[in-house]
Amino acid sequence: MHISVMICDDLEEERAAMARMVDSYGRRHGLAIQIEGAAGGEELLAQWAPGRWDLVFLDIFMPGLSGVETARRLRAADRTCALVFATTSQEHGLESFELQVMDYLVKPVGQAAVDQAMDWFVGQEAARLRLLRVGTEGEEDAETVRVGEVDYIEICRHTAVVRAAGRVYEVRRTMDALEEELNDSRFFRCHRSYLVNLDRVQQIDHKDFVMESGDRVPISSKCAAEARRRFQEWLLAKNWGM
């Protein structure tokens, strides 16, 4: 697995220390990690390009753009990269939650804290890169999609319809078979005919999951309470590594 990391901190010694700890994790786990640095939010945003970084470590208190404002602007342009705050303050929990920050490290940051954040990220990345076969049963050249890119699956006229990365695939498998094949905590059976990826949900609105794509996925009455609980638990796990 190749991981591209950005470390943004106005203090050069802090950037260097974080880089050493991230590099140490990579060497101990056999990972190819490319590390870049920026001395402030403006510099980071000037370097940004779609897909350039998988993981960004951000100091909160920096001259010019704060880490929170940098994260807000970065998140507006990039919904996929993972964010980690590293700071001396514990007063930004709400912003961390709103910006889907993966972890919140309090300085001085030690190797154990970095390892824990990296463990969580690597686990999520491995799950995201898993593939789901969406071709016809028995086809040797069956098409595949990344599990993490699946928005939801619905049953329509006895056919499973997989919606992923803006595309639609018809799959000749039952919902039960797909749910068993995925075996992934991100997916929740919110309706007899729908299996939703909680990681692609923007919010719950009345009796629907509202997806990041804008689609609405219905929640059955008997699943309503469980749907809210599962979504809240997923948000906590995603934002705080719980």
What's residue 50's pLDDT?
Answer: 87
**Residue 110 DSSP code:** P
CB half-sphere exposure, 185, CA atoms < 13 A: 10
Q: Where are the beta strands (DSSP E) in 88-143?
A: 103-106, 131-133
CATH homologous superfamily for the domain 131-240: LytTr DNA-binding domain (2.40.50.1020)
pTM over 0.75: no
Segment 63-81 mean pLDDT: 91
What's residue 94's pLDDT?
Answer: 56
C-alpha 75/C-alpha 48 separation (Å) is 11
Domain parsing of the chain, residue ranges: 2-128, 131-240
What's residue 136's pLDDT?
Answer: 56
Query: Are the C-beta atoms of 40 and 8 separated by less than 8 Å?
Result: yes
Residue 242: pLDDT band (50, 70, 90) is: very low
Q: Which of 59-73, 92-106, 178-192 has the lowest mean pLDDT?
A: 92-106
Q: One fold for both 2-128 and 131-240?
A: no
CATH number of 2-128: 3.40.50.2300
Residue 204: pLDDT band (50, 70, 90) is: very high
Q: Where are the beta strands (DSSP E) in the chain?
A: 2-8, 32-38, 55-58, 82-87, 103-106, 131-133, 144-146, 150-156, 159-164, 167-171, 187-191, 194-197, 201-205, 208-211, 216-218
Q: In the predicted model, is pLDDT for residue 166 greater than 70? A: yes
